[in-house]
Structure 1
Amino acid sequence: MPIHIGLAGWGDHDRLYVPSAKAGSKLRQYAKHFPVVEVDSTFYAIQSRERFGKWLEDTPDTLHFLVKAYQGMTGHQRGPSVPASETNEMYAAFRDMLEPVIAAGRLTAALFQYPPWFDCTQANVRILRETKERMKGIPCALEFRHQSWFTEEFREKTLAFMEREQWMHSVCDEPQAGAGSVPTVLRATDALSTIVRFHGRNVSGWTQASAPNWREVRYLYRYSDEELLDWVGKLRLLEQQSEHIHVIFNNNSGGDAADNAKRLMEMLGLARPDGGEPNEPPPPVVEQLDLF
């Protein structure tokens, strides 16, 4: 199936799992529902290759991983410039972490999502070139959070640059809330894969970075059937440009991501990886009895 639908993370979607499911079993249960998952923990800390190996062992070959780049690699950690030696070590550790999932043929891409202050400048274009060189041989997706990349003046140049440098386009559905958000640009830059990420449309919550519960408010949104149906046509358009479309729902705050993902699967006529209908309960996971 050329369209693959999944969620950002697997720990926060309790309605997917049997009651009292252990944390260690959730990814295995998740894999019955969806064929792709976004790994967000790698944004906060580079994980060990052993942990990735465990995730692979626990899941069937039908599950593929979209792995978010570490925040130190995308400039989210403001402050003094990191010495080149530390930058080299950071990228080496990230690449080493990915080796098991690459060897298993289950890496969708490494996702480089840049912060809202990463605007369209020569210096930042140079950073993107350097990043792509450091990630040579590994499929990479690029997501902007500053609208300057897609203004009328720079949109075609941005897309041509991404195609030339072999960046997959991470197409966004998100609130249009000023310079720190990007429009939905329905253009693939890689013939093999395109990413689509649904962030919700909570305009009022998108820019409240100073609020104590900002992250929860930002992604608190439930897509309507009308909005999802509109995306069926958009995905079919992208499908003509790229062999695989990987769709990730990131509107997790209210527990809406899984419901929206399953509803879109129904609209597209997609079955679950285990062959079931999207909203049909999968067979229960048999847990080994924990006696001690």
Structure 2
Amino acid sequence: MIYIGVTGWGDHCSIYPDGIPASDKLKEYSGHFPTVEVDASFYAVQPEKNMKKWVKDTPHNFQFIVKAYQGMTGHQRGEIPFESKEEMFEAFKKSLTSFQEAEKLAMVLFQFPPWFDCTKENVDYLRWCKEQMNGTPCALEFRNRSWFEGTYYEKTLTFMKEENWIHSICDEPQAGEGSIPEVLIPTDSNKTLVRMHGRNIHGWKKPVKGKEWREVRYLYKYNKQELMEWQEKLKTLEKSCKDIYLVFNNNSGGDAAENAKMLLDLMDISYEGLAPHQLDLFS
């Protein structure tokens, strides 16, 4: 099955009625798409009450892709707010309980930063992360090209298969060391993740410093031809993997939800069991 959605549910104005409260957006979102990437978990380990609400707000077959906390992937500057890395991982795993009990956890996404290159130390850390996650389905996304250069290409894929990492395949600008090539090879026969970052090469090469960098990097709208290319790629991936999760991350200009809808139309995909659009009944 192909699950198509977007990253986050707060900013996709094109699918929401005017004036919708932020607390109701996930309910409305789940009437359009069967999966979403939780990015709030990257910035802070989420309290149990948040996870319980998100489970309650979505249909029984809805699937969450939860982004690993930034301290787990080396993004956080300074000290982490935990006594140890072990404590940090335990807190994060505990936060997943509601998703797991409801069978709504598709996977946890470990997205590593551009400075996380292919070294023995980093390979050892990946093994340690997988051990800490104790069987939880985990996807792995690199942001450093060294993992797929030369002889490391095959070694990286073999490592991911042996360690049971789900491959996070990226569509992104080819902008040198800080980007990775499109590698259309599943490393898990059950699940593959595809993340559509857009193709704004200028935004990747010269990002604005500060919090505005995301607005520059992910400002991109896929055209029909580009999505048709992915239509064929997804069909190919399906031949060797049971479930494909694809999320659009190009939302700086509000294009992610629209592109997700376009791809659904191109592939003639419709989902059963989505939430009813309750908020539209009196509009």
TM-score by length of 1: 0.92
The yes-or-no answer on 1:94 pairing with 2:92 is yes
Match of 2:18, SS state, is coil
2:38–2:65: 8 Å Cα contact kept in structure 1?
A: yes
Alignment partner of 1:285 is 2:279: yes
Cα distance in 2 for residues equivalent to 1:63 and 1:112: 21
Structure-2 residue corresponding to 1:161? 159
2:252 is aligned to: 253
Q: CA deviation at 1:155?
A: 0.7
Cα separation, 1, equivalents of 2:23 and 2:147: 40
Question: Which of the numbers 105, 125, 128 marks the counterpart of 2:126?
Answer: 128
Q: Distance in 1 between matches of 2:122 and 2:281?
A: 49
Q: Structure 2: how far apart are the matches of 1:72 and 1:254? A: 28
Partner Cα separation in structure 2 for residue 152 and residue 184 of structure 1? 15
Pairing 1:182–2:176 present: no
Report the identity percentage.
51
One-letter identity of the residue aligned with 2:205: T
How big is the shift at 1:211? 3.2
Give 1:228 deviation, angstroms: 0.4
Q: Can you give the 5+ residue segments of structure 2 that lack an aligned partner in the other structure?
A: none
Q: How far apart are the structure 2 equivalents of 1:264 and 1:129?
A: 35
| Structure 1 residue 34: Cα displacement | 0.2
TM-score, structure 2 as length reference: 0.95
The one of 167, 170, 175 equivalent to 2:168 is: 170
Q: Using the TM superposition, give the Cα deviation of residue 153 of structure 1 relative to its aligned residue in structure 2, in angstroms.
A: 1.5
When residues 286 and 203 of structure 1 are mapped into structure 2, their CA distance, relative to the original with a 3 A threshold, is closer
Moved more, 237-246 or 211-220: 211-220
The answer on whether the counterparts of 1:62 and 1:273 sit within 8 Å (CA) in structure 2 is: no
Instruction: Give unpaired runs (5+ residues) of structure 1.
Output: 277-281
In the TM superposition, what are the counterparts of 1:269-284 in structure 2 within 5 Å? 269-274=268-273, 283-284=277-278
Which residue of 2 is the match for residue 44 of structure 1?
43
Cross-structure match for 1:223: 222
1:18-29 pair list within 5 angstroms: 18-29=17-28
Give the superposed CA RMSD.
Answer: 1.9
- Offset, 1:275: 6.8
Conserved? CA contact 1:34–1:273, under 8 Å: no
Q: What does residue 108 of structure 1 align with?
A: 106
